[in-house]
Amino acid sequence: MNMESIIEQLRTNRTASREELVFLLENCGDTEREALRKAAQETALAHFGNKIYIRGLIEISSVCKNDCFYCGLRRSNGNAVRYRLTKEQILSSCEKGYALGFRTFVLQGGEDGCYTDEAVCDIVRSIKERFPDCAVTLSLGERGEESFRRLRGAGADRYLLRHETADEAHYARLHPANMSGAERQRQLFALKRLGFQTGAGFMVGSPYQTTENLADDLLFLKRLEPQMCGIGPFIPHKDTDFRDMPQGSLTMTLTLLAIIRLMHPRILLPATTALGTIHPKGREMGILYGANVVMPNLSPKEHRKDYALYDNKICTGDEAAECIRCLSARMRSIGYQIVTDRGDYRE
Ligand code: SAM
Ligand code: SF4
Ligand code: FES
């Protein structure tokens, strides 16, 4: 097997075999990584120019009925501060975001029974009424096909639900027995069928993850063909059993961003907050490795620190306006420009 030919195949055929992906991930040195980076950046530039889409992230609830082992919001974390945003607080965050140039709002939260279908549909309809030129993305976990259908009917455009890992045994080491990778994947295919622009994704360096797992994650993405993909490093949280596990690696995250860009040239690919948390220039590097989206935080400042998925999360003390100014400057510093645009997926 030869690294150059695998990279060339990713560029031209947009895929590779499991063995080739494992080989590439295990043997990628600085030279190969730079070749991947360059190819991924060129691909992103060809489709999006130097434009970076922004998404206003509104963290609507820190209450969750699930107990994912890696997450600071897990039900059994008694130290987590729980809050919920009201519809008015959400709309006022959108209002602020709209004035700052956001045309996509992402409502994300734990799996919180208080946000019934009726409540979320009402919020989605109100946002669409007040801001008809904006897209609404939801990221509220596994709600099931019926719920997804109602949310889509109310006007939600996109849904983010990371598959977390495509390997069932690995999934079982990250989640309690009442959750399954197969169910997660079924729900992702349902979202696509219902016409949502759908986002899957995974953490890089999650506990017990192997290179084979990562190759399978890439091949799962190939089967699903999502319109968006969220990947970022795993970062431990002090109140979880994974507190002493090592965080995901910066270079592995960047390598995977580049591979995903080559395998899915038009995919909407964020340089995540987690990437910005493990390295001060993480998000800039993410863009140079093929990412084309950033997701600044629009949540009310008083609740920021309580949406603590992992330790040392950045931007918890900053206003939305400060974050967008900061990110615009960061993007300009590498020759890119944040745009006022819904930033939909285009075939
Ligand atoms: N509850 C919804 C769900 O799980 O899809 C949405 C919110 S959840 C906090 C969003 C994502 O955060 C998860 O898909 C997971 O990949 C990521 N996440 C959770 N804990 C993390 C950690 N310790 N490090 C990095 N990412 C983490
Ligand atoms: Fe809940 Fe999502 Fe955290 Fe799992 S990852 S505990 S579903 S907020
Ligand atoms: Fe939030 Fe820099 S992006 S302060």
Taking the CB of residue 193, how many other CB atoms lie within 10 A of it?
12
What's the rounded mean pLDDT across residues 164-179? 98
**String of DSSP letters for 206-270:** -TT--HHHHHHHHHHHHHH--SEEEEEE----TTSTTTTSPPPPHHHHHHHHHHHHHHSTT-B-B
Q: What is the mean pLDDT of residues 203-210?
A: 98
As a whole number, mean pLDDT of residues 48-59 equals 98
pLDDT of residue 121: 99
Note the pLDDT of residue 4: 93
Rg (CA), the chain: 19
Pocket test for ligand 2, best of 61, 62, 63, 66 (most atoms within 8 A of CB): 66
Residue nearest to atom 4 of ligand 3 (CA): 323
- pLDDT value at position 177? 98
pLDDT at 132: 98
Q: Provide, rounded to the nearest whole percent, the portion of the chain with pLDDT above 90.
A: 98
pLDDT at 45 over 90: yes
Q: What is the pLDDT of residue 1?
A: 82
pLDDT in tens, 227-286: 999 999 999 999 999 999 999 999 999 999 999 999 999 999 999 999 999 999 999 999
**Average pLDDT score over the chain:** 98
Bridge partners for 249 per DSSP: none
**Does the pLDDT at position 158 exceed 90?**
yes
Q: 339 C-alpha to center of ligand 1: Å?
A: 26
Q: Whose CA is nearest to atom 1 of ligand 3?
A: 323
Measured CA to CA in angstroms, residue 287 lies from 24, 68, 102, 197 at distances of 21, 29, 19, 21
Mean pLDDT of 158-180: 98
Atom 3 (ligand 3) nearest CA: 323
pLDDT band at 318 (very low <50, low <70, confident <90, very high): confident
Ligand found nearest the CA of 140:
1
| CA torsion, ordered 105, 111, 116, 118, to nearest 10 deg | 20
pLDDT for the residue numbered 52 = 98
Q: In terms of residues, how long is the chain? A: 347
Is residue 74 in contact with ligand 2, taking CB distance under 6 Å? yes
45: tokens are 């530039």
pTM higher than 0.95: yes
Q: Whose CA is nearest to atom 20 of ligand 1?
A: 71
| 110, 141, 251, 318 from 323: Cα distances, Å | 23, 26, 25, 6
Q: Is 97 in the pocket of ligand 2 (CB under 6 A)?
A: no
pLDDT at 28 over 90: yes
pLDDT digits (tens, 9 = 90+) for 89-136: 999 999 999 999 999 999 999 999 999 999 999 999 999 999 999 999
